[in-house]
Amino acid sequence: MEEALKEINVWAPRLMDMGVNLLVALLILVIGWWVSSMLGNWVRRAATRSSKVDPTIVPMFYSTVVWAVRIFTVIAVLARFGVQTASLIAVLGAAGLAVGLALQGTLQNIAAGIMLLMLRPIRAGEYIALSSGADGTVEEVGLFLTRLIQGDGIHLTLPNSTVWNATITNYSRNKTRRLDIPVPVRYGDDLDAVVAKLQQIVDSRPDALMDPAPQVKVFDYKENGVIVNVRVWAESSKYWDLRWGLYQQIRSSLEEAGFQPPIPLREIQNPKTGAAAT
């Protein structure tokens, strides 16, 4: 009997300490999970209300905040039970470094995707061209990949790092675009009449903007004629219709008015006969 009492006296404090530690750890775990959910919801609401944050990355922000708090909560619980958290953190850090090195390219794409989604140099529906040679209408900007639809219907998938590191030309971001059409005129033709005819053509186009006003100016002198530049502004959505329409209308209208396009001539000397041929 005495032996049993001694055993009870030995184990009672230990069990009491273990019970207290268990209750405290459970309390830390519950509070940590509650705080993580509260912070996550706050970040999600703030990101959703901000016009500068793309909705695509809101879930990622939420998950990052929630699991960061929960990881620290688990570490605090382990420390309560006497686990050496310093060594655990070192092991987790080394494992994270190894995974980061192994997935370096993937992490670059994720980082580039986050920057593209936050800064938004491109958006879905915009037509872009990259200095790498790729071009097309943006279909989707994801966390890893950017998808473009080229003009011929080909689906182009690019890593986000390729898009982020390239020079991006965005043809759709502005509401208006300028169109310049060089029109060659023969030296013998009436230049003033050609300029007046071209001005009449662009002024009659309903898809050409009147502000800024269309301009028809002599631009350059070539060997076989004068270059007259037709400059007109259009809405970005009507740019190609205006371009195609003007190219056809200018040529047909000038031919109807009796103005023929200059034909380039080249003189070739025959060393045997000394005669010149064109």
CATH code of 230's domain: 3.30.70.100
Contact 250, 256 (CB under 8 A): no
What per-residue confidence (pLDDT) applies to 273? 65
What per-residue confidence (pLDDT) applies to 96? 64
CATH of the domain at 166: 2.30.30.60
Q: Indicate whether 68 and 85 sit together in one domain.
A: yes
CATH of the domain at 89: 1.10.287.1260
Q: Indicate whether 7 and 55 sit together in one domain.
A: yes
Strands 168-170 and 135-141: unpaired
Q: Residue 194: what are its φ and ψ, rounded to 5°?
A: -65, -45
Number of domains composing the chain:
3
Q: Indicate whether 165 and 186 sit together in one domain.
A: no
Q: Say whether pLDDT at 222 is over 80.
A: yes
Please indicate, yes or no, if residue 184 is contained in any of the structural domains.
Answer: yes
Last residue of a domain, one of 102, 135, 158: 102
Q: Indicate whether 33 and 98 sit together in one domain.
A: yes
Other C-beta atoms lying within 10 Å of the C-beta of residue 9:
9
Please indicate, yes or no, if residue 130 is contained in any of the structural domains.
Answer: yes
Q: 58-80 and 2-49 helices cross at what angle (nearest 10)?
A: 160
Exposed, middle or buried by CB within 10 Å (0-12, 13-18, 19+), for 176? middle
Task: Report pTM.
Answer: 0.61
pLDDT tens digits, one per residue of 135-150: 999 988 877 888 999 9
Mean pLDDT check: name the lowest of 30-44, 128-142, 196-210, 258-272.
258-272
Q: Indicate whether 166 and 226 sit together in one domain.
A: no
Contact 243, 202 (CB under 8 A): no
What per-residue confidence (pLDDT) applies to 27? 87
Please indicate, yes or no, if residue 107 is contained in any of the structural domains.
Answer: no
pLDDT tens digits, one per residue of 135-188: 999 988 877 888 999 989 999 999 999 999 999 999 999 999 999 999 999 988
What per-residue confidence (pLDDT) applies to 100? 57
Contact 186, 262 (CB under 8 A): yes
Cα-based torsion angle of the residue sequence 106, 107, 111, 117 in order, rounded to the nearest 10 degrees: 40
Please indicate, yes or no, if residue 269 is contained in any of the structural domains.
Answer: no
Q: Indicate whether 153 and 228 sit together in one domain.
A: no
Q: Indicate whether 152 and 184 sit together in one domain.
A: no
Q: Say whether pLDDT at 95 is over 80.
A: no
What per-residue confidence (pLDDT) applies to 55? 65
Q: Indicate whether 198 and 162 sit together in one domain.
A: no
What per-residue confidence (pLDDT) applies to 56? 59
Q: Indicate whether 218 and 243 sit together in one domain.
A: yes
Q: Residue 222: what are its φ and ψ, rounded to 5°?
A: -115, 175
What range does the domain containing 152 cover? 121-170
Q: Indicate whether 140 and 159 sit together in one domain.
A: yes
Q: Indicate whether 10 and 89 sit together in one domain.
A: yes
Torsion region of 120: left, alpha or beta (phi above 0 gives left; psi -120 to 50 gives alpha)? left
Give the separation between CA 246 and CA 18, rounded to whole angstroms: 86
Cα 3 to chain centroid, rounded:
77
Q: Indicate whether 9 and 89 sit together in one domain.
A: yes
